[in-house]
Amino acid sequence: MTSQNRLVVGIGASAGGIPALEGFFHALPGDSGMAFVIVTHLSPDRRSQLHEIIGRLAPIPVRAAEDGAQVRADHVYVMPEGKVLTISGGRLCLSDDDPMQRERKPIDVFFASLAEDQREHAVGIVLSGGDSDGTLGVKAIKARGGITMAQVRDGSGPRNPQMPESALASGFIDFAEPVEHMAERLLQIQRGADPLVALADGAGDRQADEIEELAQATISRLLHSQSGHDFSGYKRRTFMRRVARRMKVVQAGTLDAYVQKLREEPAEVLALFRDMLISVTDFFRDCEAFQALDTSVLPRLFESRGAGDTIRVWVPGCATGEEVYSLAILLRERMDGPDPAPNVQIFATDIDEEVLAVARAGRYPEALLRNVAPERLERFFRREGGSYVVRKEIRDLCVFAPHSVISDPPFSRIDLVSCRNLLIYLGGTLQNQVIPTFHYALRPGGFLFLGTSEGVSRHDDLFAPVDKKHRIFQSRDHGGRLRRLPIAINRAEDRSGVQPAGRERLDRAGLRLRQRIEAQVLERHSPAHVVVAQDEEIVFFSSNTGRYLTMPRGAPHRKLFDLARRELRADLRAGLRQALETGLPARRQVPMFEREGDAAGLVDLTVEPLSGHGGSEALYLVLFTPLGQGRPPEPDPARDPDAASRDASAAETEELHGLRDRLQSTIEEYETAIEELKASNEELVSVNEEAQSSNEELEASKEEMQSLNEELTTINAELATSVDELDRANTDLTNLYAATEIAVVFLDRDLVIRNFTPAAARFFNMREADIGRPLTDLSGALQFPDLEEQVRQVFTSGQRQEHRLSPDGDGRHCLVRLMPYRTRDEGVGGVVVTIVDISSLAWAEEQQQVLISELNHRVKNMLSVVISIVNNTRRMTSSPEEFSDTLIKRLHGMDLAYSLLARSDWTQVSIDALIRTQAEIYGAQRVHARGPDVTLAPQQALSLGMVVHEMTTNAAKYGALSNEKGRVDIVWSVEDGQVHLAWTETGGPEVRAPVDKGFGFILMEGQTKFQMDGDIDIDFPPEGVVLKLNFPIGG
C-alpha cells in the first residue's frame, strides 16, 4: 500500500456472495481511498467471470489479481480460479492450487497473510458463505490490531449464514452489520485512522511520549479497578496499539476522549480488557508455559501407567482448536517412548458448534503455525494448498463435543484440565462455580492448567500450586471425601400468598395437627430408616439409626455401604440390587453381633422403592426393624451337659453357612458385574471408534458437499448473470432489428422460417405464429418468383447472391441479398434473406442522371463562355503577355463565382456574398455594398460574377480604385421581382467616354442580356463611371 497508511480490506465470500457484494459496492463511493481484495471459493476447472461481474457493480476499477501486483487505493482485486492468494509487502502473491489437494480455506489463508502484512491497517469482512472459512482469519486480523466485520441479516443479508455466524461465534468480530452499512462504517474508520497511526506506531517526540505514558497509567488504573489485573507493566507500544484499535472501533479521536469514555462506560473497559488479552492465535501460545507443562506435569501423568490405562484430558472452551492440538502433540511425543504407552483421550468442548466445526477440520493457515517447530510441522501436519492439516494420529486423540462448563455435567476421572483464558470472561460468581467443577472432574492429584491472567486464589482448599508463574495447579486430595458438584437444589414452595378463610382455615388447622401427630409418632416409635439414591448416596436419615450406621474415619460422607455396620453390608447390597432390578421390596433377616452395649439379635432389612416423592431420580427406603435376640435361651448345663455344646455348635454352623452363602453370592455378583463392565467397556470403545470413523467420513463428505454446493452456487450466480446478459443482448438485437428497419428472414435448409425481423412482416405478411412454417407457403408483396431457386444455389455454392427487383406498383425498389447462415463448424445451416428498400437509392440514381445532364449542359455553356473570352481577349490584346494576364484575371473571376456555388452545393448564392468575394481584394473600406438579402440561381450568379469582376478590374486600372482616394458604392434593391443594381465610382481620375465598346463591355452586355435576361446601362461622367443593371430574380 502507499505511505498514506490507507486501509486494505479483505472480503471473504462464498455461496450467495454475489448479492452481498452487490449490496456492499452499491453503497461504496468512488473515492474511499481504500483497497479491496475479494477472495471466494471458486472451481479450478472453469474460468471465473467474477471480476467482470463485480466490475459492473463497483464504482472503482476492478481487475483479476496478478502475481506481484502492487495494491493501490480505490481498486478492487479479485482472486482468480485455481490460485491461492496472499499478500506480502503490499503486493499480491499468487500460487497454484494443487488439484490433488485443493485449498479449502482460501479466505483464512489470505486473512492471515493480510494480518501479518498490514497489521492495524487490515480489515477483514466475512460475507455470505456455507462454511467456516474466515473464522481463523478474523482472529489473526484482530490479534494484529485490525478491524473485523461480519454480515448479518438485513437487506442483502446472507443467503448462506454459516460463514458469518461462525466468525461471530469466535467472539472476534468488531462490527456485525448488513452489507449496506459496511461502506459507511469503513469510511468512519478510515477518517479516524490517520490521527491514530502515530499512536499505534509509537512514533512521536518527547512530549508525545509523556502524554502516552500518562494515558497508559490512567487507563491501567481503570482496567485494574474493573478487572483486578495490572497492565501498567505492559510494553507501551503493545499497550497503545490495543488502545488505538479500540479508539478506531468506538470512533474516539483523541486519547482524552477515549479515557473519558472509559470512565463513563464500564462495558468499554471490559472490551479493552479482552483486547489486551488477545494474542496471536498460534499453536503453543506462551511457549514457556507449554514447556513447563511438558517438563513438570506430563511425566507424572505417564508415570506408572501402562498400555491398559488411559490418560484423560479435558479442554473446555477449546474454540478453534489450537490449544487442543498443541496438547495432543506434546502427549503424542510422550507416547513414543520405549515403554508401552497408555491410551490418551482429549475431550475438547465448547458451547458453539460453529467454532467446533473449525476445530474438527484441523486446517490452519501457515501464518498461524509460526511457533510450531519445523520437525513437528513435518511430522504432525500435512500441507494442502496454503494451509496445513493436522494428521490423523493427532486427530484421533481428540474428541470434540458441544458442552457448557457452566450448565452441563462435567467429565469425570480427568487427569488434566487445560482451561486457558476462559475464566477471564466469567464473573466472580461463575468462577466460584466453575473452579470447583474442575476439582470435581479431576482425579485426586490431577492437574489444572490456566492462562497467564487467571488463578485459583479463592479456592486454595481445592488446588495447590505446582508452577505459579505458568499457572499450573494440582487438585488436593481430601482423604477419600466424596466430591460433590457445586449445584444448589431449590425446593418448590407455595408462594401464592392467599390467606384461607372460614371452614377452609379450620380444615388446614386440623391438617397441621395431624401432620404434627404423625411426625411425632414417626420420630419416636417408627423403625430406623434411611432414603438412598441409586448411587448408594443417603439423602435422608431418620432418628435411631446409630445402632446400624456408624461414621468412619476421615472426611465425612454419606455412602450407605461405608456407613453401615460390617455384618449388614452384604445383605444391604444384595437387597438394594434386588430392589433396583425388580422394582419390588426386598427383605433380609441379618444377625447382628453384640457391640458396645448393643445386644446381639436379628434385624429385618427391608429395601423398597420410594414412590410419590416427585423427583426425577429414583429413591429407595431402607428400614431397619429389630426382631429380638438372635439365639434361643441357653439351656441349663446341669440338666443336660451336652445340650449347650450342641446348640452352640449348631448356631455357629448355621451362621457359618449363612456367611458362606452371602460371600458366594457377593463373589458371583462382583464377577458378573466385572464381566458386564468389561463387555460394556469393549462395546463402548468399539462404538466410539466407529463413531469417530463415521464422524470423520461425514465431516469429509460434508466438506466436499459444501465445496460442491459453493461451486454450484457460484456457477448458478454466474449463469444467472450470463442469462441476464443474454436477455440484454436479445433485447438489444430486437431493438436493433426494429431500429434498422431492414427486413431479415432466417431460414433453415428446408426453407422453414426460424426467425424474422419486424420489417420483414410487410414483405411476406408474416406473424409470430409463422415461425416454423416454410417460407414458400406464404404469399407476400415481394415480386421474386425465383427466390426458392436462388436459395438452393446458395446452399449449393455457399456464396451470397444479390438481386435487384423491379419496382412494384407503389414504385418501391428492393434489393434482395441471400447470405449463407454459417454454423460453428463453418458449415451452411441455412440462409439469411435480407431485403433492403432501395427506393431512395433509386431516386438518388435518377437525380444523379439529372445532375450529370445538368453538369454536361453547364460545362458546355462554361466552355462556350471561356472560348468567347479567349477569342475576344486575343483580339483586344496586342501582346501575348497582355493576353495571358487578362485571360487569367477573367478566369479567376469566374473561379470565384464557381467557388461560391460549390460551397452552396450549386443551389443559391447571395448578391452580397458574390460582390464581397470579388471586391475584397481591393479592401472592404473602399468598396461599399448594401442591399436586401437576395439569392441568385447558379447561372445568374456566374453571370453577375463576371460583370462585377469586369467592373472591379476596370476600376482598378482606370477608375476609382486606381488611386488611394477613390471608392465604389454598390446598391441594389428589389421591385416587382426585378433586381435593380447601381455601380457608382467616385474620387478617381477624371473619366472620358471611350470611342467604341471594348471587349469588357461586350462581355458584360452579353452576360446581362443573354444569360440573365436583363439589361445594362453604363455612363461615363467625369467624376466616375455609373453602371445600372436590371434583371429578374430566377431568370
Q: Which residues are catalytic?
A: 14, 41, 133
The half-sphere exposure of 502 on its side-chain side, counting CA atoms within 13 A, is: 1
Q: Report the C-alpha gap between 1030 and 1013 in whole angstroms.
A: 9
Q: For residues 608, 610, 612 and 615, what is the CA-based torsion angle, rounded to 10 degrees?
A: -150
The C-alpha atoms of residue 100 and residue 383 are separated, in whole angstroms, by 12
Residue type, position 529, single letter? H
How far is the C-alpha of 215 from the C-alpha of 838, rounded, in Å?
A: 87
Q: At what angle do helices 880-903 and 839-876 cross, to 10 degrees?
A: 160
636 SS3 class: coil
Distance (Å, rounded) from C-alpha 737 to C-alpha 312? 78
Contacts 24+ apart (CB under 8 A), 54-58: 54/21, 54/25, 54/78, 57/21, 57/22, 57/25, 57/26, 58/25, 58/28
155: left (phi over 0), alpha (psi -120 to 50) or beta: left
Residue 190 backbone dihedrals phi, psi, to 5 degrees: -60, -45
Between CA 56 and CA 62 the distance in angstroms is: 9
993-1031: b (≥16 Cβ within 10 Å) or e: eeeeeebbbebbebbbeebbebebebeeeeebbbbebbb
Diameter of the chain measured on Cα atoms: 212
Count of residues for the chain? 1035
| 3-state SS record for 785-821 | CCHHHHHHHHHHHCCCEEEEECCCCCCCCEEEEEEEE
Distance of CA 1016 to the CA centre of its chain: 93
Q: 131 burial class (0-12, 13-18, 19+ CB within 10 angstroms)? A: buried
* Distance in angstroms (rounded) separating the CA atoms of residues 381 and 386: 13
Round the CA-based radius of gyration of the chain to a whole number and report it.
55
- Least Cα distance to 830 among 916, 745, 707, 773 occurs for 745
CB 780 within 8 A of CB 809: no
Which residues, in sequence order, are bridge partners of residue 9? Answer: 36, 123
Q: Are the C-beta atoms of residues 498 and 526 closer than 8 Å to each other?
A: no
CA distance 1017 to 363: 112
* Residue 1026, C-alpha cell as written in the block: 455609373
Do residues 1007 and 1016 make contact, with C-beta atoms less than 8 angstroms apart? no
Q: What share of the chain is helix, strand, coil (3-state, %, to 5)?
A: 45, 20, 30
The C-alpha angle 738, 744, 745, rounded to 5 degrees, equals 125
Cell matching residue 190: 478510515
Interatomic CA distance for residues 225 and 486, integer angstroms = 29
Give the relative orientation of helices 206-227 and 236-250 as an angle to the nearest 10 degrees. 80
All three cell numbers of 51: 471480476
- Kindly state the cell numbers that stand for 540: 435422608
